[in-house]
Amino acid sequence: MSNKLNLVLQKMSPNLRKILSNTSWLLAERVLRMAVGFFVLAWVARYLGADQFGLLNYAISFVIIFTTIAHLGLNHFVVRDSVSEISRKDEILGTAFLLRLISGIFSFLLVTGIIFWLRPDEQLTRIIVVIVASSLLLQEFNVIDDWFQSQVQSKYAVSARNTAFIIMTLVRVTLIQTQAPLIAFALAYLIESALTFLGLVIAYQVSGQKIQAWRGNWRRAKSLMKVSWPLIFSNLAIMVYLYIDQIMLGQLADNKAVGVYAAAVRLSETWPFMATAIVSSAAPSIIAAKKVSETAYYEKIQKLCNFLEIIVYSIAIPMTFLSTFLVVLVFGQDYASAGSILSIHIWSSLFVFLGYVKNIWIATEELTGFALSASIVGATINILLNIWLIPKYQGIGAAIATVISYGCADYIMCFIYPPARKFGWVMTKAMSLNGIAMVFSKNH
């Protein structure tokens, strides 16, 4: 068996072997987080109860929405430029670092102001949100992760994140055992972010690179912001329709409704880690194929989308029927009502998985204006549906709103905007199980 595996690996191109190796590191990280993290998450949820668990998730959702402002939509462009202009990597990384440092400070102040306005009489809520929001001040170090992605060397970033994750997992277990208050769990979120970014810095230095060589460049900053500014609003809109449901549940219902919904969402959003790992590793290859020919470029995109949708169906179909059982098994009987929410929410993965590929395609084609329009449409539809459905159906209404808004933003908008129709048909083929059909046609 091992000989056959070695033979297969030898026949692969060096680039493909590098992608597979990089993907395996990313998948290993996600599997570790899914296995260990889920156990601890369930323990935390059971310990805190739906009400306090809901408040913690309200704070995290609130902050995550503004993380996109701190990132400035630079991720894919830093990867792209690091691949095509490797001799200027210090200028690229240094400029991106300074831009994110400024935006991180701005985002933190913005979040603090908004939560004091929304919840003027809820001191605990304000404290929890401000603690979690402090992680925004560290987002500039994510440029190191972007660099490792561009070089298909994610093992360094994975090691940094896993070290922080393992340490804080032990801390959270200790907090439960010592019956710590909710504020301690918010601090654990912040400390994990700090340890992760410290680990990234160490990993970057260990890999032979020097942060001291980074330098900012005003022209580079203008160039990056010129192409990325639509993605700031686009990604903000994406985060709005990813997380606004939990915030609106907190405003229109109560913290317990947020806690129950969060349990379903955590189970549903466990699976896209595979898409993130696979697409992150395949991105440099897709970008390189664009320089070869349009045919090779779209063939790679189609194959990737086909593979991702096969994964989606293999997860979503069983999850639909086993949702309540899984929720009770993981979170306990108090969260049983999350089962019906999960059976609906899981189908958003149809669009979420392909959305990661679409982001690479948009960055490569420089259609950030389209990304902005599609995301605004999706966010608007989600907010309007939440206003209508949450008062009537609470978490179930929020799940329905999520699936519909994803479909509109990530799929239907491709056919409304002519330059995106080709990618829309790529998605259609993938969702119609084109990948499985191709396998069977080859076998016959």
265-290 pLDDT tens trace: 989 988 877 787 788 778 888 888 88
What is the extent of the structural domain holding 185?
Answer: 13-443
Task: Please give the structure tokens belonging to residue 57.
Answer: 């998730």
Distance of CA 47 to the CA centre of its chain: 26
Give me the residues of the chain with pLDDT under 70, please.
Answer: 1-30, 32-33, 82, 152-154, 234, 434-444
In a domain, 357, yes or no: yes
Give the pLDDT of residue 5. 43
Query: Using CA atoms, how far apart are residues 301 and 436, in angstroms rounded to an integer?
Result: 16
Residue pair 309/432 in contact (Cβ under 8 Å)? The answer is no
Please name the residues in contact with 190: beta carbons below 8 A apart, sequence gap of 6 or more: 131, 132, 134, 135
Q: Can you tell me whether residue 294 is helix, strand or coil?
A: helix
Residue pair 265/244 in contact (Cβ under 8 Å)? The answer is no
Query: Domain total for the chain?
Result: 1
Amino acid identity, position 187:
L
In a domain, 154, yes or no: yes
In a domain, 249, yes or no: yes
Give the pLDDT of residue 185. 96
Tell me 417's DSSP state.
S
In a domain, 8, yes or no: no
pTM here is: 0.78
In a domain, 1, yes or no: no
In a domain, 362, yes or no: yes
Burial (CB count <10 Å: 0-12, 13-18, 19+), residue 111: buried
Query: Using CA atoms, how far apart are residues 235 and 376, in angstroms rounded to an integer?
Result: 9
For 156-213, the pLDDT digits (tens) are 777 888 888 889 999 999 999 999 999 999 999 999 999 988 988 888 888 877 888 8
Alpha-helical regions (H) of 137-272: 142-150, 154-177, 182-206, 218-252, 255-268
Give the pLDDT of residue 440. 46
Helix (H) or strand (E) holding 11: helix 2-11
The maximal CA–CA distance of the chain, rounded, in angstroms, is: 68
In a domain, 98, yes or no: yes
CA distances 31 to 24, 209, 272, 313, Å, are 10, 28, 11, 19
Residue pair 196/161 in contact (Cβ under 8 Å)? The answer is yes
In a domain, 2, yes or no: no
Query: Using CA atoms, how far apart are residues 201 and 211, in angstroms rounded to an integer?
Result: 8
Neighbours of 133 (CB within 10 A): 25
